[in-house]
Amino acid sequence: MKVQAKVTSLESVTAFAALPSSGEDEQRVIGAVLIDPAGALPLIRAAGLRAEHFADAGHRLIWGAIERIEGAGEPIGMVEVFEHLRKLGQVERVGGIGYINELMERVESTKAAGSCARVVVDKARRRELIRAADALHAAAAAESADKVLRLQVEQIIARLADDGAAGELQLAAPPFRAVPVANLASTKVHAPDYYWPARIPEGHVTVLSGHGGVGKSLAAMMLLVGMATGRPVFGVPTKRCKVALFSGEDGAELLLHRLLWVCHGMEVDPAELDGWVHVLDATDGDPTLFTEVSVDGRRIGTTTAAYAELGRYITDHGIDVLIVDNMSDTFDANEIERPKVRAFMRSLVLLRQAKRMTVLLLAHVDKGTARGERSGAESYSGSTALHNSARSRLYLSRDKDGALTLEQQKNNLGPLSPPLKLEWPEGELPRAETPSSGYAQAITAAVDLKALLRLVHEFTARGEFVSPGATSPTSAPRLLATEPGYPKGRKSPEVLAMLRNAERDGLLAKETYRARDRHERERWALTYAGRAFVGVGAGTAGTAGNE
């Protein structure tokens, strides 16, 4: 059977196989340029990427806009690209402003722009080879004259040579790598690096939150001096590095006064800071690093000119750690909109071109915590997006007696560090409390645990049950906190930990009971050993029975 076909050009050939493409790599290439054009474009140019290499028609339009904006010598950004497409009537053809914004969300690191571009180019060349093979197949199947067939072959080879596909193919690396496990026992696995062990991980954003006036800025300044000189802070060692403080809250005069005070209190010669500390006062201008702009009636998030200048400064001076004081001055968007908060946090680690930035971001607690409506376990600014985006989160609080506690409430890279109990003598810097002896601490812990378990027993006996759930309105910190005998010096996480340890020691047990609404719930109940420990009568673990 003859196949009737007329081949006029490569574009008119219908391929016999699905054409290879990588939409995700195309998205990451464009997103990287929108985030960091100065860093991403040289990597992309080295891969030889052009608009025609994109398989997606919308991506070709966006890339064409980027090339025209660059050719005109204008700055490249999401807003500029959107405006260019809008003037050409192509916004809807590329998926609208929402899709352009989504392209930036796809980027994990702009450093990968070059490898993604190579994948896009390789897929384009493979598509061209497939089209060429289809054209030759169709020409041969149509029984074209020998001279005509040879002419078509020559045209195809010349076309492929111009595009670089006729030579040896450079196979793109897969978007993953196989990790060898055969010699796992002898493999050296590097643990996460920290500039302040277990609390400020390298290459991530750590959030330090607390009420206004509690001492966050002073603690951050102490960390600045500690990391710049390699001295311990609050008894915890630091890794020496170059540190920059970007202040949108306090001006130069106050910053220098505080810095001299910290140097004096930590017995540091200010000359030691030369070349290691950079203080950036942004209060005279606009310190905003991430903002919202209105485009075509919609509010979108984007980095600012100040962000670009800060990135250049960090790269030029080899800054290792950036302290940002604080979020309310540098983030000018809606904190309850998670995509914008995530984009802001992601932009901070991308400030440095060579590798991910290490950032300590200061933030005020949210209004609910400030009014006492939430416990310290929920003490983060804005929505849960900030909590979720930070790899480590620290919370500084002041007790009624004036003592400070620096508590780590989140650590994605390892176990939580124990709280740092601080004292703040008048006229001096905060410092770690002098620890009690191990024997004295054990006695105190036993006394507090006995008082806590006695309260659980008393409430159970009268039919008021203490829930094991940390967020339940009937959890121990919420139900028992106002009762006489409750260990007032213990934070909510400590109390919950004491109860979990008591369960492991066989003093407490979880019981299931049926509440008045007929739903099954859990409650704490003292075991036989638990009742003996607190000195109450024996009997079954649950003395109140089901309701």
CA distance 430 to 217: 12
What confidence tens digit (pLDDT) does each residue in 111-127 have?
A: 889 899 999 988 888 88
Task: Please check whether residue 399 is in contact with residue 360, taking contact to mean a CB–CB distance below 8 angstroms.
Answer: no
The larger pLDDT score, comparing residue 168 to residue 524, is at 524
Which sign does the torsion angle of CA 265, 270, 272, 275 carry?
positive
* Residue 540 is assigned to a structural domain of this protein: no
Parallel/antiparallel/unpaired status of strands 392-398 and 205-210: parallel
Last residue of a domain, one of 413, 432, 451: 432
- When pLDDT is cut at 50, 70 and 90, the band that residue 372 belongs to is very low
Output the CA torsion 257→259→262→266 (10° steps).
-140
CA distance 349 to 378: 24
What is the predicted pLDDT for the residue at 448?
85
% of the chain beyond a pLDDT of 70: 80
Same domain, 220 and 362: yes
Average pLDDT over residues 516-540: 81
Helix (H, G, I), strand (E, B) or coil at 343: helix
Same domain, 460 and 362: no
Work out the burial of residue 544: count CB atoms within 10 Å of its CB; fewer than 13 is exposed, 13-18 middle, 19 or more buried.
middle
- When pLDDT is cut at 50, 70 and 90, the band that residue 151 belongs to is low
Residues 6+ apart with CB under 8 A from 322: 243, 244, 246, 314, 348, 351, 357, 358, 359, 360
* Residue 48 is assigned to a structural domain of this protein: yes
The larger pLDDT score, comparing residue 425 to residue 234, is at 234
* Residue type present at position 78: M
Across the strands, what pairs with 169?
none
Tokens 């003395």, residue located: 543
* Residue 542 is assigned to a structural domain of this protein: no
CATH of the domain at 49: 1.10.860.10
Same domain, 218 and 85: no
**Structure tokens belonging to residue 304:** 């600012």
For 132, phi then psi, to 5°, come to -65, -45
Question: Taking the model in full, what pTM does it have?
Answer: 0.51
Same domain, 153 and 209: no
CA distance 415 to 205: 17
Beta strands in 326-414 (DSSP E): 331-332, 358-364, 392-398, 404-411
Boundaries of domain holding 384: 194-432
What is the predicted pLDDT for the residue at 7?
31
CATH of the domain at 356: 3.40.50.300
CATH of the domain at 458: 1.10.10.10
The larger pLDDT score, comparing residue 294 to residue 1, is at 294
CA distance 446 to 444: 5
Same domain, 226 and 298: yes
Residue 50 has pLDDT above 80, yes or no: yes
What is the predicted pLDDT for the residue at 227?
97
- When pLDDT is cut at 50, 70 and 90, the band that residue 455 belongs to is very high
Same domain, 422 and 446: no
* Residue type present at position 167: G
Tokens 């410092």, residue located: 431
Q: How far is residue 545 CA from its own chain's centroid?
A: 47
Same domain, 398 and 474: no
3-state helix, strand, coil in the chain (%, to 5): 45, 15, 40
Parallel/antiparallel/unpaired status of strands 321-325 and 331-332: unpaired
Same domain, 369 and 479: no
Residue 441 has pLDDT above 60, yes or no: yes
Same domain, 284 and 411: yes
Same domain, 297 and 334: yes
* Candidate ranges 11-15, 19-23, 179-183, 328-332; pick with highest mean pLDDT: 328-332
What is the predicted pLDDT for the residue at 485?
84
Last residue of a domain, one of 384, 417, 432: 432
